[in-house]
Structure 1
Amino acid sequence: MKRLKSVPWLLGFALSAGVLSAAALAAVEEDFPTLMKRLIQEKPRFAKRQQDLLAQRYDLADRPAPGVTMSRGKPVQQGVRVRLPAGTTWDQLAAMTPEDIKRRKLWPAGFLPLPHPHHEAGGMVFPRPQIDEMRRQTGRDLTRFDLDFDLPQHLLPEFPAPIFLTTRKDLGDVSQGQLVTLDNFESLFKDILNPKQLEGLRLLLTPFPQQQFNLTHDRRSERPHTGVACLDCHANGHTNAATHTVGDIRPNEHRRRIDTPTLRGLNIQRLFGSQRALKTVEDFTEFEQRAAYFDGDPVAAQRKGVNVLERGSQVHFMAEFQALLDFPPAPKLNLYGKLDEAKATQAEVRGQKLFFGKATCATCHTPPYYTDNLMHDLRVERFYDETTINGRRASTDGPIKTFPLRGLKDSPPYLHDDRLMTLEDSVEFFNLVLGVQLTAEEKQDLVAFLRTL
């Protein structure tokens, strides 16, 4: 640190290149106790900033849809939660051109990119139930002293999520209602997995050093930390909505908040990584350990204790277990991934017709898994002027992955950065972006169909 402080031009270059943020520069100039004290004092200000933004953008009330639940029974939230600009309606917006919406500044704020809970600081941050259960089972603390997760629990996936395996569909949920950790994985899976798969699961549950959770003074945990595990975010092979910022974009204000995607159905996916540049889950598993855990900085990775996995055994074992994670049951779908109309409601049948017709959803989301395994650029920047929101520069999203829609109701919030809280929000968003002019009744029918997937 002393040597770095004595080379001002290097610090200046690092700042201009986005390698060091202003907060990181302050960290270079402070010892750890001073840094921690300062960030704890600043925490309420940034938390209020984020909560004020969320309140301005969304209705975050706990308002479940009657009779609609996730796979283990958690209620699914209903209704459009994005707040409209004053004096406008969804029908009025849908009748406008993107140019008119942009010129009149009518693009709903909730459809703009959602910043990280503290975008300037970034890094992994976990919902409270994950932190509490991990501490209860293992004593490992995933708390950050500088910030907390921002979204309310009723808008997140159920926790702990059930686990369905492609190899043992007959067993249903093999998690037995537990969060799988190093403490219980063997007792739960020793009679279900072969030794290679069991070792892969062990590695997915093993904490390794990461940018904010490590043994050095450049960390955001109060005590030196063993790190994080793959299944800390992808809890039970699904998602707990933990968030982060992508490591492959600079400068920092352009880095995107990351939605933790589910690992269910990973065996049918072909693109991985935040830029989808990795073509196998083995590539991605290795990349996460070598670079993504450390914001794409191999120098920091070496200093903080990067764990280089052995490709032929460890990486392969981890990938094999991930490929066993199945989508949840969808009892209303037939062998082709479409509705068995004898089991469906009229609204669901109408919604399916819209999905494959007027709404154009199936252009990208093709059955039976409802993905084309490609990327598409929605060019949402057509609708708004570039702006900075809580440290996040809202410019362009660029190409985003077509995620599978199977099991969709189990995985809120939606889009790649969690900006859409409900399926109703998602339908309104795509109705504007795609210009398909759905009526209010058609939107309801489309949501009804999406809930069956």
Structure 2
Amino acid sequence: MSDLISSAAVLGAGGLAVASLVASITVLAADPLPPDTTYRPLPTRPFSAVKADDEAQKPKVMQRQSGLLNERYDLANRPIAGVMMSGGKKPVQGGVRVKLAGGATWDGLGKLSPDEIRQRNLLPEGFKPLPHVKHATGGQVFPTLQIDEINRLEQRDLRRFDVDFDLPDHVTPEFPPPIFLTTHGELGDVSRGQLLSIRNFYEIMNGIVTPVQMEGLRLLLTPFPQEEFNITEDRKVALPSLGVACLDCHSNFHTNAAFHLTPDIRPQAARFRLDTVSLRGMFNQQIHGSKRSLRSIEDFTEFEQRTAYFNGDHVSAARKGVNLPDRASQVAMMAQMQNIIDFPPAPKLDPVGHLDPMRATPQELAGEKLFMGKARCAQCHIPQTGFMDQQMHDLKLERFYKVGSTRNDFAEMPDGPIKTFTLRGIKDSPPYLHDGRLMTLADTVEFFNLVLQLKLNPPEKDQLVAYLLTL
């Protein structure tokens, strides 16, 4: 049973004037969250009834998301021959996976103006923001590999009863990912092929990190209450839960493609999906959070525990058991550990981030030339500063499509300014963009070729992908 809540969005000539967000937003009865509220309402139904409804609705919820994904993408398992992620256990997927509208071609699309693409409704659906698997509810969703391994190691259950992870394993990062340290480059992967958890971290890292870093690591691996994983009656796990740990999403300080909704926007329908970012190279980053522009890893760590764990609702946090780490004796130690996580080796790059012509292929060198020039990548992804610029940028994708429609309860709103993410080790971090809407590096090249009107030809696109794989 569902309630239909209607509101109106009004388009203005210069952008969007929102009276009350988006028409025809369906809110499931098990998740009574009106689209215009700031705070999450307290549960009004017994946990057993909500759980039973959620479980009954789950097949339809997953079928709806699967339909959207298959409409937008080719999700076949087609790796690039001989190209592996940094741990050597998982191949990198190749080819453009975003589907074009009927009759369109990438070359033809690249010749059209943004106005022509918008008026003819030709922007590929896969280039638009990607909805959460259950957008009206939102919350953390973990991939099966992470769920199973944490259950094996800690007997702690990260499996939700209302939704499952929605992307196939082959378009997600290697699991578990390797760990590289700035303090011990000679050791290579220090994870020993294992997923760090509260049960094994001391044995794995003892003698490698300092006491301060070890304490920071312990805190990063300690589960604390989170909006969907806690002891209250509105949780989304079958049994009362200790919560989640920072490294449940940032597996081995990288990413496992777990996702949730940004805590920084209201109403619910406008909150965009947020893919877990890697923590590699944190020592070189001075801006944190896709939207929040937090200026230190300490600020970010503290903010995550206080509000982001609870979908940005500190009122809910107080009720469920917020963890308030001490800035001096705990947050600082967590930051010390995060700041020694290095990028994976890139043997073809010199010390300032340029290809060594003695090691790179002609195709890779041609890709680097495009990266620095015609493709305009280096304007934001500066090699000398870790392939980022410590800034936020608005690509204004809404130039290419009519803003305001709703897909799977998600209001397709402008992305707005998003921070520049590093490209070092980028082959290890699918899916791409802040919400994981692009499955491969070839997709990202097509995306930026269109959005920035670069007019790259097919050989140039291939050269650019070849270069990105060296980073």
Shorter-chain TM-score range: over 0.9
Q: Distance in 2 between matches of 1:362 and 1:277?
A: 21
1:392 Cα offset (Å): 1.0
Q: What residue is the counterpart of 1:380 in the other structure?
A: 397
Q: What residue is the counterpart of 2:37 in the other structure?
A: 18
1:296 Cα offset (Å): 1.3
Q: What residue is the counterpart of 1:55 in the other structure?
A: 70
Q: Distance in 1 between matches of 2:166 and 2:37?
A: 25
* SS across alignment from 1:66: strand
Q: What residue is the counterpart of 2:332 in the other structure?
A: 316
Alignment map for 1:269-280 (pairs within 5 Å): 269-280=285-296
1:112 Cα offset (Å): 0.5
Q: Which amino acid aligns with 2:348?
A: K
Q: What residue is the counterpart of 1:4 in the other structure?
A: none
1:247 Cα offset (Å): 1.1
Q: If the length of structure 2 is used for normalisation, what is the TM-score?
A: 0.91
* SS across alignment from 1:113: coil
Q: What residue is the counterpart of 1:341 in the other structure?
A: 357
Q: Which amino acid aligns with 2:310?
A: F
Count residues with an aligned counterpart: 437
* SS across alignment from 2:151: helix
Alignment map for 1:218-367 (pairs within 5 Å): 218-367=234-383
Q: What residue is the counterpart of 2:126 in the other structure?
A: 110
1:130 Cα offset (Å): 0.2
2:416 to 395, 398, 414: 398
1:194 to 205, 210, 222: 210
1:100 Cα offset (Å): 0.1
1:395 Cα offset (Å): 1.8
Q: Could you give the per-residue CA deviations for residues 360-388 of structure 1, whole angstroms, max 9, x where no partner exists? A: 10010001311001010000000000121
What is the Cα-based RMSD across aligned positions, in Å? 1.2
CA contact (8 A) 1:276 1:401 kept: no
Q: Distance in 1 between matches of 2:451 and 2:247?
A: 34
Q: Distance in 1 between matches of 2:290 and 2:122?
A: 29
Task: For structure 1, list consecutive stretches of 5 or more residues without a partner in the other structure.
Answer: 1-13
Q: If the length of structure 1 is used for normalisation, what is the TM-score?
A: 0.95
1:274 Cα offset (Å): 3.5
Q: What residue is the counterpart of 1:42 in the other structure?
A: 57
Q: What residue is the counterpart of 2:195 in the other structure?
A: 179
1:276 Cα offset (Å): 3.1
Moved over 2 A (4+): 14-20
1:430 Cα offset (Å): 0.1
Q: What residue is the counterpart of 1:33 in the other structure?
A: 48
Q: Which amino acid aligns with 1:191?
A: G
1:129 Cα offset (Å): 0.2
Q: Which amino acid aligns with 1:376?
A: H
Q: Which amino acid aligns with 2:323?
A: N
Q: Distance in 2 between matches of 1:58 and 1:239?
A: 22
1:16 Cα offset (Å): 5.9
Higher helix share: 1
CA contact (8 A) 2:264 2:292 kept: no
Q: Could you give the per-residue CA deviations for residues 274-323 of structure 1, whole angstroms, max 9, x where no partner exists? A: 32331000001011111111111111111000011011010000001000
Q: Could you give the per-residue CA deviations for residues 334-366 of structure 1, whole angstroms, max 9, x where no partner exists? A: 111110011011100000000001101001000
Q: Could you give the per-residue CA deviations for residues 239-272 of structure 1, whole angstroms, max 9, x where no partner exists? A: 0000000111011111010010000001111111
1:227 Cα offset (Å): 0.3
Q: Could you give the per-residue CA deviations for residues 386-440 of structure 1, whole angstroms, max 9, x where no partner exists? A: 1211111112000011111000000000000000000000000000000010000
Q: Distance in 2 between matches of 1:241 and 1:410?
A: 11
CA contact (8 A) 2:394 2:415 kept: yes
1:71 aligns with 2:86: yes
Q: Which amino acid aligns with 2:388?
A: T
